[in-house]
Amino acid sequence: MMTPKTTLRARILMAALAACCAHASAYAQNASGLDRIAWLAGCWTREAAEPGTQEHWMAPAAGTMLGIGRTVKAGKTIEFEFMRIHLAADGKLLFTALPSGQQEATFTQIRIGETEVAFENPAHDFPQRVIYRLQDKTRLLASIEGTRKGAMRTIEFPMRRAPCAP
């Protein structure tokens, strides 16, 4: 027979286990969102661009993927961008970008599939959407789109998988 003291301990233990399991379950669900876009990890070189124009993405770890991009023209870096894909409290992915010379902007996942992830921020000036599509194991199409000066505009960035330089 359980005493009131034993009953209280059992209830505390059960509550702690429930909280732990809920946290572990939420983590597993959230981690799977990043795992679904693990295909983005690696080094990508822009097609029809100068050497050095690249985008690099780290593999998912600890609830984030980190990326960096660089655009080269006439042998000089003319733009760069720091990027992060991370988990929101609701389990959706967020894409946060900090382009050179601009304010940080965050876009919320609107689509995710085996070979595509799309993010949107309707309040952002341009772009309002950022999309990554894996075309095959070696080709990636990144695009930005939205309304600019009253007209719908899409800019595509075709890329090929490249070896990551040491």
Residue 2, pLDDT score: 53
Between 89 and 154, the higher pLDDT residue: 154
DSSP characters for 113-144? Answer: -SSEEEEE-TTSSS-SEEEEEEEETTEEEEEE
Which is nearest to 69 in space by CA: 49, 55, 58? 55
- pLDDT on residue 114: 94
What gap in Å lies between CA 165 and CA 40, rounded to an integer?
A: 17
- 126 or 27, higher pLDDT: 126
Mean pLDDT of 68-91: 96
Q: What is the arithmetic mean of pLDDT over 95-105?
A: 97
The tens digit of pLDDT for each residue in 17-67 reads 444 444 444 444 444 689 999 999 999 999 999 999 999 999 999 999 999
User: For a pLDDT cut of 90, what percent of the chain falls above it?
Assistant: 77
Judge if the upstream peptide bond of residue 127 is cis by omega within 30 degrees of 0.
yes
Q: Tell me which H or E stretch contains 25.
A: helix 4-35
Ordered domains of the chain (ranges, CATH): 36-162 (2.40.128.20)
pLDDT of residue 87: 93
Compute the radius of gyration of the chain from its Cα atoms.
21
pLDDT band at 166, cuts 50/70/90? confident
* Confidence grade of residue 165 (pLDDT, cut at 50, 70, 90): confident
pLDDT of residue 62: 92
Cα(124)–Cα(121) distance, integer angstroms: 6
Answer yes or no: is pLDDT of 127 > 80: yes
